[in-house]
A and B are shown apart, each in its own frame.
Chain A
């Protein structure tokens, strides 16, 4: 399956191992070995992309008896790894921009879990900005999520126990990551990393302490029980079935076309006989 998408990238698999096109050979010789190493870490891996599957959305609980006119729901908006993994390996901080009627509508969350809880009564669009570490990307990425408090069916009774959950799945793609970044994240569960072509070696990167990484275990989050499990298998099956149908129809139409062409060929014969 990944092979199909590589059709979209150029078919050139050559990796520029000698480094980026040297613009000033003079300065290159002056650089010490330290600089060379740093350059290698910064060098981009072409035709390689790493992706981080994320899920973002909100969970809203109706407050029931404790609900007032202005605080009827308690909601949490969040960005999480698709399998509840720790996103801080690539994400430095997340900024949630709330409706202007909130105090300090720009909320910054510096550490995982990247979530924000508030209470209110209204549904509005929240602008979520993901800021990445400097070796990942300079530019932030924007997501938009419409906060949902009330269940879809209007007649549905509001229940205190069962929250309204709306989540969206997406994947953040980092095209041409730097070598340093690749080495850093290749063993992290939150990141999908493709296999490197054979004969390619990465510079050694100090291995992250596995204990340190699990310091904030996302599985301790009480909201975890409400998260939806996104599986691609379902969609893949449906897509494969649809493609088969379409291909069958294409074959049928092609057959019909060739039939007609055959008929025309036959009609051509009689005039020449005359």
Chain B
């Protein structure tokens, strides 16, 4: 604005007022409700996409005290979880003079495990075991009850040294036997998890051993394992690919050259997942006819495809030997002939005709190029240099270009002879 003053240019008032208008709008957008500016900036200055807290709920809690009178009192209470009658004191929120009722709110967390208690008779009848004495079993069960089936602790406290698995085994088999014995009929208890899936001590020992092995694996071992797994996967995949490639092979027969066949049959057994790519990788080295065969094979691999896609592939295969400029000229030609570049009704017949037309245009363009170069060649006297034949696609053309070569050389030789004669 100062610059405009200096230059004496008239000030344009409109954009300035627009700026002022947009700024207060932005400010009101930026200013959030309810939280301070700095806190809002922590979120990146943008409101969250989903409101995480319902703002209405935040103000509710303050409404209640308007109706009632709240005082806090130091009162005693009893805890139903305790076995004695100890009375302790704590602060209690009293509403309108009446203290809250109900048990101590934390009493519900005092949980016990139902450890089975057996009589001596039952022990004699069902639970005798050669490796366990009655004393030990009793001790085990007592510890189980005291420690809520925390077997690690129980194993630690157990008077004689027994492993965790042995203790578990004894406990579960005893409980299971008692359950079955006490049940009125076997069917009633069959749903009980203890009966359905008994504790399998050997399996548990193996499992824990395997787990500890995995846990203690060094990084090297981990890497080795991963390598082996990935190699196994690759071998599986290559087997699948080899199977599929073999199927494709049966279809693509006489068009591929013999070397191509060898290349595809040889690497079937090696663990290389790029078999299919090998068959199509050989294709670019072959001539245009083989290009088409390779394209057809790849289409067959797809199994399901659109006709327009197929046409594109075939067109690409046919014009793969031509440069970009040539392709453009082909398209120009098509447009001059009033033919759509992509057929509007791509049926099988139409696509075939379209492809043939493109190929013919390519041939025509190549011939025209050849003709041009020949005409240039014949207009020069020392025509040998211009006779570099452009890379001909057909054998016939190649033959044709050789004859002019020899002719022009013949001319030169003749001239030299004439000179010599002088």
Q: A and B from one assembly?
A: yes
Stretch at the interface among A73-81, A100-108, A115-123, A252-260: A252-260
Contact of B356 among A4, A10, A172, A235 (CB under 8 A): A4
Residue contact A21 to B363, C-beta cutoff 8 Å: no
A1 adjacent to chain B (CB < 8 Å): yes
Residue contact A250 to B360, C-beta cutoff 8 Å: yes
A271 adjacent to chain B (CB < 8 Å): yes
B310 adjacent to chain A (CB < 8 Å): yes
Q: Give the CA-CA distance A53 to B96 in the complex, in Å.
A: 82
Q: Tell me the A45-60 residues at the B interface (CB within 8 Å).
A: 46-47, 51, 53
Q: Give the CA-CA distance A194 to B52 in the complex, in Å.
A: 63
Residue contact B407 to A267, C-beta cutoff 8 Å: yes
Residue contact A236 to B349, C-beta cutoff 8 Å: yes
Q: Give the CA-CA distance A265 to B408 in the complex, in Å.
A: 10
Contact of A1 among B307, B353, B368 (CB under 8 A): B353
Residue contact B306 to A173, C-beta cutoff 8 Å: yes
Known: A136-B304, A246-B361. A2 touches B403 (CB 8 A): no
Residue contact A250 to B344, C-beta cutoff 8 Å: no
Binary interface profile of B, 336-378, with partner A (CB < 8 Å = 1, else 0)?
0111100111111111111011001101100110110011001
Residue contact A11 to B254, C-beta cutoff 8 Å: yes
Q: Give the CA-CA distance A236 to B343 in the complex, in Å.
A: 10
Contact of B345 among A1, A231, A250, A268 (CB under 8 A): A231
Residue contact B305 to A175, C-beta cutoff 8 Å: yes
A20 adjacent to chain B (CB < 8 Å): yes
Residue of B nearest to A2 (CB): B348
B3 adjacent to chain A (CB < 8 Å): no
B131 adjacent to chain A (CB < 8 Å): no
Stretch at the interface among B230-238, B263-271, B291-299: B291-299
Residue contact B403 to A264, C-beta cutoff 8 Å: yes
Residue contact A230 to B378, C-beta cutoff 8 Å: no
Residue contact B292 to A8, C-beta cutoff 8 Å: yes
Q: Give the CA-CA distance A192 to B310 in the complex, in Å.
A: 17
Residue contact A46 to B251, C-beta cutoff 8 Å: yes
Contact of A247 among B250, B295, B310, B360 (CB under 8 A): B360
A249 adjacent to chain B (CB < 8 Å): yes
Known: A170-B307, A236-B350, A264-B407. A243 touches B418 (CB 8 A): no
Complex interface: chain A residues within 8 A of B169 (CB): none
Stretch at the interface among A30-38, A62-70, A137-145, A218-226: A137-145
Q: Give the CA-CA distance A135 to B72 in the complex, in Å.
A: 77
Chain B nearest CB, measured from A143 CB (Å): 7
Residue contact A267 to B349, C-beta cutoff 8 Å: no
Residue contact A257 to B347, C-beta cutoff 8 Å: no
Complex interface: chain A residues within 8 A of B250 (CB): 16, 21, 46
Known: A8-B314, A10-B252, A243-B360. A171 touches B300 (CB 8 A): no
Chain B nearest CB, measured from A33 CB (Å): 25
Residue contact B374 to A171, C-beta cutoff 8 Å: no
Chain A nearest CB, measured from B304 CB (Å): 4
Interface size on B, residues (CB 8 A): 64
A263 adjacent to chain B (CB < 8 Å): yes
Complex interface: chain A residues within 8 A of B403 (CB): 261, 264-265
Residue contact A260 to B368, C-beta cutoff 8 Å: no
Complex interface: chain B residues within 8 A of A217 (CB): none
Known: A169-B344, A242-B357. A51 touches B296 (CB 8 A): no
Complex interface: chain A residues within 8 A of B304 (CB): 132, 136-137, 139, 141, 172-175
Chain A nearest CB, measured from B83 CB (Å): 60
Residue contact A141 to B345, C-beta cutoff 8 Å: no
Known: A239-B350, A253-B367. A137 touches B404 (CB 8 A): no
Residue contact B337 to A242, C-beta cutoff 8 Å: yes
Residue of B nearest to A192 (CB): B348
Q: Give the CA-CA distance A153 to B361 in the complex, in Å.
A: 34
Complex interface: chain B residues within 8 A of A249 (CB): 364
Contact of A264 among B254, B364, B378 (CB under 8 A): B378
B59 adjacent to chain A (CB < 8 Å): no
Known: A239-B350, A257-B367, A271-B410. A175 touches B252 (CB 8 A): no
Residue contact B411 to A271, C-beta cutoff 8 Å: yes
Interface size on A, residues (CB 8 A): 62
Chain B nearest CB, measured from A131 CB (Å): 11
Residue contact B347 to A171, C-beta cutoff 8 Å: yes
Residue contact B246 to A21, C-beta cutoff 8 Å: yes
Contact of B349 among A2, A136, A169, A271 (CB under 8 A): A2
Residue contact A141 to B378, C-beta cutoff 8 Å: no
Complex interface: chain B residues within 8 A of A268 (CB): 407, 410
B400 adjacent to chain A (CB < 8 Å): yes
Residue of A nearest to B404 (CB): A264
Contact of B255 among A10, A137, A245 (CB under 8 A): A10
Residue of B nearest to A139 (CB): B304
Residue contact B367 to A169, C-beta cutoff 8 Å: no
Q: Give the CA-CA distance A254 to B350 in the complex, in Å.
A: 27
Chain A nearest CB, measured from B93 CB (Å): 48
| From B293, B307, B411, residue with most partner A Cβ within 10 Å | B307
A211 adjacent to chain B (CB < 8 Å): no
| From A11, A173, A176, A250, residue with most partner B Cβ within 10 Å | A173
Complex interface: chain B residues within 8 A of A270 (CB): 414
A154 adjacent to chain B (CB < 8 Å): no
Complex interface: chain B residues within 8 A of A234 (CB): 345
Q: Give the CA-CA distance A249 to B349 in the complex, in Å.
A: 24
Known: A243-B357, A250-B364. A260 touches B374 (CB 8 A): yes
Residue contact A10 to B253, C-beta cutoff 8 Å: yes
Chain B nearest CB, measured from A105 CB (Å): 18
Q: Tell me the B311-352 residues at the A interface (CB within 8 Å).
A: 314, 333-334, 337-340, 343-352
Complex interface: chain B residues within 8 A of A136 (CB): 304
Q: Tell me the B221-264 residues at the A interface (CB within 8 Å).
A: 246-247, 250-255
Complex interface: chain B residues within 8 A of A247 (CB): 360
Residue of A nearest to B361 (CB): A246
21 contacts between A and B (CB under 8 A): A5-B348, A8-B296, A10-B255, A21-B246, A47-B251, A169-B344, A171-B307, A172-B307, A176-B300, A234-B345, A236-B349, A240-B353, A242-B339, A246-B337, A246-B357, A261-B374, A261-B400, A270-B414, A271-B414, A271-B417, A274-B418
The 8 tightest CB contacts between A and B, nearest first, are: A271-B414, A171-B307, A1-B349, A239-B353, A242-B337, A137-B304, A5-B352, A253-B367
